[in-house]
Amino acid sequence: MANLKEVRERIKSVIGTQQITKAMKMVSAAKLRKAQNAIVQMRPYSVKLSQILSNIMANLEGDAGGAYGVQREIKTACVVVVTSSRGLCGAFNTNIIKSAVATIDSELSEVRKNGKLTILCIGKKGYDFFRKRYKDCTIISDYVMTYNDPSFDNVAIASQSVMDEFVAAKYDLVTISYGRFKNAAMQFAETEQFLPVKRLEATASKTKSDYIFEPSKEQLLKTLIPNILQTQFQKCVLDTIASEHGARMTAMDKATENAEGLLIDLRINYNKARQEAITKELSEIVGGAAAL
Known catalytic residues? 89
Distances (CA, A) of 171 to 65, 123, 178: 16, 22, 20
Q: Which is nearer to other proteins, 27 or 49 (CB)?
A: 49
Segments in 114-202 forming alpha helices (H): 124-133, 152-167
Instruction: Please name the amino acid found at residue 95.
Output: N
Phi, psi of 244 (to 5 degrees): -60, -50
Minimum distance, C-beta of residue 212 to other proteins, in the bound complex (Å) = 4
Cβ closest to other proteins, residue 130 vs residue 143: 143
Q: How many CB atoms lie within 10 A of CB 177?
A: 27
* Nearest residue (CB) to other proteins, 41 versus 138: 41
> CB-wise, 188 or 213, nearer to other proteins?
213
H or E segment and range at residue 205: none
Give the shortest CB-151-to-other proteins separation in angstroms: 7
Instruction: Please state, in angstroms and rounded to a whole number, the distance separating the CA atoms of residues 161 and 246.
Output: 30
Residue 69 burial by CB count (10 A; 0-12/13-18/19+): exposed, middle or buried? middle
Shortest reach from residue 46's CB to other proteins, in Å: 8
If the CB atoms of residues 134 and 152 are measured against other proteins, the closer one turns out to be 152
In three-state secondary structure terms, 78 is strand
CA angle centred on 268, ends 88 and 277, rounded to 5°: 130
CA dihedral 47, 49, 52, 53 (to 10 degrees): -100
What's the closest the beta carbon of residue 165 comes to other proteins, in angstroms? 22
Sheet holding 173-183, edge to edge: 138-140, 117-122, 77-82, 173-183, 186-195
Closer to other proteins by Cβ: residue 73 or 210: 210
Which residues make up the interface to other proteins (CB under 8 A)?
Answer: 38, 41-42, 44-46, 48-49, 51-52, 55-56, 151-153, 209-215, 219-220, 223-224, 227, 231, 234
* Closest by CA position to 76, among listed 5, 172, 148: 172
- The least distance separating other proteins from the CB of residue 65, rounded to whole angstroms, comes to 18
Distance, CA of 163 to CA of 280 (rounded, Å): 77
Q: How far is the CB of 33 from other proteins (least distance, A)?
A: 15
In angstroms, what is the C-alpha Rg of the chain? 28
